[in-house]
Structure 1
């Protein structure tokens, strides 16, 4: 797998990857019908397409030349000092092979002025939490008004 910037031609494959990954991850937490509703709204082609041109952001895919194995999206806020990781997903069949780490590393390298990276994760998503903790993230709080959503943060060398 190699990591590259996402493009228009990737949108259908990104959507398929997100739908598969979300069902594998969240069906047991939210139920399949709710996950379908969420992915139809959040991961529509139109919604994903807006990310391609969003300022101060990075939209990446992990690609082996035949299929996409992972996707990541992050944006810079607070004058470039903070990176907010909005998405990092790897196909369930490819998890544990270093793809998530490659995507995370490339996201961090894309924002050399940043002092920290922040993300939110569902508290029942133990695999994601273990991944982020193994990659230097520390829990820094909860999201107000969203029971079950945890905030993790990692300082970066600017």
Structure 2
């Protein structure tokens, strides 16, 4: 199975939206509430929200052939690179698609900059994946919706002197 990763464009919006709509319930219902999942589906995975990330951030899609199986959005927060979203369709998980997306994002950022990301506490699968990619705990915050956001950071290698 040959995985290709490319920058998303307007034609990918329905596929990216579909990934979010299918992965969010499967990912978050085991440790959050249906209300939390529904609120986030209605804010982050609408056509308008996905279009905004494709137009304003750097969104990648991972494909096998022409089929889009995963997506990652790379943006900026407090002057640093941040991975806002990384999702792979449930039936395509475990096939190194997330790894291909992560490697593309990290290559894009380069070795001279830290990269941050965040996830909902309780998502142990995501935490393990991020740790395997070199991310370490940074801090936690309470967004006020009943969840806890965990921030992680992958530090740029120290320059050799």
TM over 0.5: yes
Matched, 1:102 2:91: no
User: Which shows bigger deviation, 59-68 or 138-147?
Assistant: 138-147
Match of 1:135 among 130, 133, 136: 133
Structure-1 residue corresponding to 2:10 = 8
Write the deviation string for residues 51-90 of structure 1: whole angstroms up to 9, x where unpaired. 2221xx31000011242111000113455xx211100111
The number of residue pairs the alignment matches comes to 154
CA distance in 2, matches of 1:77, 1:23: 26
Are the structure 2 counterparts of residues 61 and 121 from structure 1 closer, same or farther at C-alpha, using a change threshold of 3 Å?
same
Could you list the runs of 5+ residues in structure 1 that have no partner in the other structure?
Answer: none
Output the TM-score relative to the length of structure 1. 0.87
- Structure 2 residue matching 1:108: 3-state secondary structure: helix
Output the TM-score relative to the length of structure 2. 0.86
Note the aligned Cα RMSD (angstroms).
2.0
- Quote the offset at 1:29 in angstroms: 2.3
- Quote the offset at 1:101 in angstroms: 1.1
CA distance in 1, matches of 2:30, 2:77: 33
Structure-2 residue corresponding to 1:21 = 23
Are the structure 2 counterparts of residues 7 and 148 from structure 1 closer, same or farther at C-alpha, using a change threshold of 3 Å?
same
CA distance in 1, matches of 2:78, 2:149: 22
Write the deviation string for residues 85-106 of structure 1: whole angstroms up to 9, x where unpaired. 1001111111121111111111
Structure-1 residue corresponding to 2:61 = 61
- Quote the offset at 1:26 in angstroms: 0.8
- For 1:9-158, list aligned pairs within 5 A: 9-54=11-56, 57-79=57-79, 82-112=80-110, 114-145=112-143, 147-157=147-157
